[in-house]
Amino acid sequence: MARARIIAGICGFESTVSAQREGSSCGVTIQSDCPAVQRLAAELKEVDPLREVCRRGDTPQTWQLAARHGLHAACPVPVGILKAIEVEAGLALPANVLIEVSAAKSPEIS
């Protein structure tokens, strides 16, 4: 089983994703403090890893459901879901992902 812990940022919400390979598919379990992610989790239960990660065909189901359930466009949770699926399916080695965000102070307007 592959797991991903995602701390989304300024919203303060935390999510945990578990992916379990079941033959040619992956079962997905998501626990989250975020109401939008909870709605996504209620619907995203099983995926085809190749379709999700390798983009064979349409937009991955994870991204479709993220949009349908109102996840912010910059939310890192869908990426965390896909990383867990990718690792569980043997399509990547487990490694942490980091996005560091900073903002330069702009000069004050007088």
Instruction: Say if 17 falls within a structural domain.
Output: yes
Annotate 20-54 with b (16+ C-beta within 10 A) or e (fewer). Answer: ebeeebbebebebebebbebbbeebeebbbebbbe
Instruction: Say if 59 falls within a structural domain.
Output: yes
Q: Report percent pLDDT > 90 for the chain.
A: 80
Q: What is the pTM of this model?
A: 0.90
Residue 21 pLDDT > 80: yes
Instruction: Say if 101 falls within a structural domain.
Output: no
Residue 19 pLDDT > 90: yes
Q: Give residue for tokens 């939008």.
A: 36
Number of domains in the chain: 1
Instruction: Say if 102 falls within a structural domain.
Output: no
What CATH number should be reported for the domain holding residue 82?
A: 3.90.1010
Complete DSSP assignment for 3-33: EEEEE-STT--EEEEEEEEETTEEEEEEEES
Structural domain that includes position 80:
2-88
